[in-house]
C-alpha cells in the first residue's frame, strides 16, 4: 500500500522508518489541505496531525484512500461522516497519556493563581521582592470538571490531591468513579454557579459548541477561573471577553482558541503582505489577539500534548494502528469515535 505521512518531523520519521521498513512510505512536513490534496491523490493510507484539514473537499480528491491514521486524540479535523460513507477507516490515538493534558491544565491554573509569569518577569529584571505578587490557594476551592472522560478523570484526581472540592458534569456520568473519588455529578447550570474554577474536558461536538456562552455567562460565580485545554470553540470568545471585562472571570487559562487553524493561516498571510480573502473572519482574530495580551489571560499555543514522552507514544501508536489495519485487525478501528457518536 502507498502510505504518506504528513506534518512529520525528522525524529518521527526515524521511528516510522524502523517500524514500517517493509513498506513504501512517503514523508512530508506539509499539512494535507484542500490546496495540495490533488498532489497526493494516489496514496491509500495517510497519517496526519491536527493541522491537516480532512474535510470532503480534501478527501474527495483521493482516488483510493483506505485509511487515515491521525496522530492525535481529537478528530474534529476529519469529516467522519464522509469517511463512513466512503469506507475510509479512521484510527486515532485516544490513549497516549491523558495525564499529560491534565498536567498542563493544572500548570496553567497554578501559573494564574501563583502569579508565576509576573514573578519571574520581576526577578529577570533583577527585582527580588514580592510586592504585587500575592496569589490564591487552591485548597478547599471548588473545581467544576466538565467532561469526565480520560483527561477529566486525571484532572479530578490531581484536584483531589490538592485538597480541592470537586463537582462534575458529563452527559454520561461515571458513578463508580464518582464514588471512588468522592465527588458529585451535577447539571451544567449548577456547576457554572458553584465552581471557583471550571476546567473543560469535553470533545468539540455540536452539543458542546459554545457550551460557555453569552447566555449562561451570568450564571458563573464572580471571580471564576476558566481553564480550556479541550477545543477553542467550546467557549464563545465574546462571552469570555465580556466575563473578563465585567470581572465575572478572574483568569482564563487557555491552550486552545477559537478558529486556531485559520488564525495561523491569517497570520502567515498578513506577514507575507498578501491580500486577505473577503471571507476572512477578522473579528475572532482580533478577539484572540485581545486574549493573548490580556494580563489575566494565560494562553499556550495548543501545547498541552507536547511532551517528549507523549509525542513518541503518539507516533508509536499511530504506526501500530497502521500495522493493525494492514494485517486486517480492526479492533481499534473507529472504536472510540463510534462510541462518542453513538452517545451524542
Ligand atoms: P474522552 O472521550 O475520554 O472524554 C470526553 C468526555 O466528554 C466523555 O466522558 C463524554 O461522555 C463527555 N461528553 C461528550 N459530549 C458531552 C456533552 N455534550 N456534555 C457533557 N459531556 C460530554 O476525551 P478525552 O481524551 O478526555 O479528551 C477530551 C478532549 O480534549 C478531546 O476531545 C480533545 O478535543 C481535547 N484534547 C486536547 C489536547 C491538547 O493538546 N490541548 C490533546 C488531547 C485532547
Span 87-140, pLDDT tens digits? 899 999 988 999 999 999 999 999 999 999 999 999 999 999 999 999 999 999
Q: What is the pLDDT of residues 20-76, one digit of tens each?
A: 988 989 999 999 999 999 999 999 999 999 889 999 999 999 999 999 999 998 888
Q: What atom of ligand 1 comes closest to residue 207's alpha carbon?
A: 18
- As a three-state string, the secondary structure of 134-180 is CCCCCCCCEEEEECCCHHHHHHHHHHHHCCCEEEEECCCCCHHHHHH
Rg (CA), the chain: 21
Same domain, 198 and 329: no
Whether 231 is catalytic: yes
Instruction: Give the residue whose CA is nearest to atom 15 of ligand 1.
Output: 202
The answer to whether the CB of 203 is under 6 A from ligand 1 is yes
Last residue of a domain, one of 222, 238, 256: 256
Is residue 275 one of the residues assigned to a domain? no
The answer to whether the CB of 97 is under 6 A from ligand 1 is no
Same domain, 250 and 133: yes
Same domain, 136 and 193: yes
Is residue 268 one of the residues assigned to a domain? no
Mean pLDDT over residues 204-213, rounded?
A: 96
The pTM for the full model equals 0.89
The answer to whether the CB of 202 is under 6 A from ligand 1 is yes
Same domain, 110 and 239: yes
The answer to whether the CB of 149 is under 6 A from ligand 1 is yes
Q: What pLDDT sits at residue 74?
A: 83
Q: What pLDDT sits at residue 89?
A: 92
Q: State residue 206 phi and psi, 5-degree precision.
A: -50, -35
Q: What pLDDT sits at residue 335?
A: 46
Same domain, 165 and 86: no
Could you tell which of 203, 213, 304 is best to mutate to test the pocket of ligand 1, judged by most ligand atoms within 8 Å of the CB? 203
Same domain, 71 and 113: no
Grid cell locating 287: 478577539
Instruction: Give the residue whose CA is nearest to atom 25 of ligand 1.
Output: 150
- Total number of domains constituting the chain: 2
Is residue 85 one of the residues assigned to a domain? yes
Q: What atom of ligand 1 comes closest to residue 339's alpha carbon?
A: 2
279 against 179, higher pLDDT: 179
Instruction: Give the residue whose CA is nearest to atom 11 of ligand 1.
Output: 172
Q: What is the pLDDT of residues 238-272, one digit of tens each?
A: 999 999 999 999 999 999 999 988 888 788 887 88
Is residue 56 one of the residues assigned to a domain? yes
Which alpha helices (DSSP H) does the chain contain, by range? 10-19, 56-59, 80-85, 98-113, 116-124, 150-161, 175-181, 188-194, 237-245, 260-271, 282-293, 308-326, 335-343
- Tell me the CATH number at 37: 3.40.50.720
Catalytic residue selected from 233, 236, 258, 260 = 260
Is residue 299 one of the residues assigned to a domain? no
The answer to whether the CB of 201 is under 6 A from ligand 1 is yes
Instruction: Give the residue whose CA is nearest to atom 1 of ligand 1.
Output: 149
Whether 99 is catalytic: no
- As a three-state string, the secondary structure of 101-135 is HHHHHHHHHHHHHCCHHHHHHHHHCCCCCCCCCCC
Is residue 80 one of the residues assigned to a domain? yes
How far away, in angstroms, is 320 Cα from ligand 1 center? 23
Catalytic residue selected from 231, 233, 236, 258 = 231
Same domain, 61 and 104: no
Q: What atom of ligand 1 comes closest to residue 303's alpha carbon?
A: 40
Whether 23 is catalytic: no
Is residue 125 one of the residues assigned to a domain? yes
Q: Which domain holds residue 72?
A: 2-92+308-342
Among the listed ranges 13-27, 127-141, 163-177, which one has the minimum average pLDDT value? 13-27
Q: What is the pLDDT of residues 74-92, one digit of tens each?
A: 888 999 999 989 989 999 9
Tell which phi-psi region holds residue 259, choosing left (phi > 0), alpha (psi between -120 and 50) or beta: left
Is residue 120 one of the residues assigned to a domain? yes
- The CA–CA distances, whole Å, from 245 to 32, 80, 133, 195 equal 39, 38, 21, 19
Amino acid at each position: 500500500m502507498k502510505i504518506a505521512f504528513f506534518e512529520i518531523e525528522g525524529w518521527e520519521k526515524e521511528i516510522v522508518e524502523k517500524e514500517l521498513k517493509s513498506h513504501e512510505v512517503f514523508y512530508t512536513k506539509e499539512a494535507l489541505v484542500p490546496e495540495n490534496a490533488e498532489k497526493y491523490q494516489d496514496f491509500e493510507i495517510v497519517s496526519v496531525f491536527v493541522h491537516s484539514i480532512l474535510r470532503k473537499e480534501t478527501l474527495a480528491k483521493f482516488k483510493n484512500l483506505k485509511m487515515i491514521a491521525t496522530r492525535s486524540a481529537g478528530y474534529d479535523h476529519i469529516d467522519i461522516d464522509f469517511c463512513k460513507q466512503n469506507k475510509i477507516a479512521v484510527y486515532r490515538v485516544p490513549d497516549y497519556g491523558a495525564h499529560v493534558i491534565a498536567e498542563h491544565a493544572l500548570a496553567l491554573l497554578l501559573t494564574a493563581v501563583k502569579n508565576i509569569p509576573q514573578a519571574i518577569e520581576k526577578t529577570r529584571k533583577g527585582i527580588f521582592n514580592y510586592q504585587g505578587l500575592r496569589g490564591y490557594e487552591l485548597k478547599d476551592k471548588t473545581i467544576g470538571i466538565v467532561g469526565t472522560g480520560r483527561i477529566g478523570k486525571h484532572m479530578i484526581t490531581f484536584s483531589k490531591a490538592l485538597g480541592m472540592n470537586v463537582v462534575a458534569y458529563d452527559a454520561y456520568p461515571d458513578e463508580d468513579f464518582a464514588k471512588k473519588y468522592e465527588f458529585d455529578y451535577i447539571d451544567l447550570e449548577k456547576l457554572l454557579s458553584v465552581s471557583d474554577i471550571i476546567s473543560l474536558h469535553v470533545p468539540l461536538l455540536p452539543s458542546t459548541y459554545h457550551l460557555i456562552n453569552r447566555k449562561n455567562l451570568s450564571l458563573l460565580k464572580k471571580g471564576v477561573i476558566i481553564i480550556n485545554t479541550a477545543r477553542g470553540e467550546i467557549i464563545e470568545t465574546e462571552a469570555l471577553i465580556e466575563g473578563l471585562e465585567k470581572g465575572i472571570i478572574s483568569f482564563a487559562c487557555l491552550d486552545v482558541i477559537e478558529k486556531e487553524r485559520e488564525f495561523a493561516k491569517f497570520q502567515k498571510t498578513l506577514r507575507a503582505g498578501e491580500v486577505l480573502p473577503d471571507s476572512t473572519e477578522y473579528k475572532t482574530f482580533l478577539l484572540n489577539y485581545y486574549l493573548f495580551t490580556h494580563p489575566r489571560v494565560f494562553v499556550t499555543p495548543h501545547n498541552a500534548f507536547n511532551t517528549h514522552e507523549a509525542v513518541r507514544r503518539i507516533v508509536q501508536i499511530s504506526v501500530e494502528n497502521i500495522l493493525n489495519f494492514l494485517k486486517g485487525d480492526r479492533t481499534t478501528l473507529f472504536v472510540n469515535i463510534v462510541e462518542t457518536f453513538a452517545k451524542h
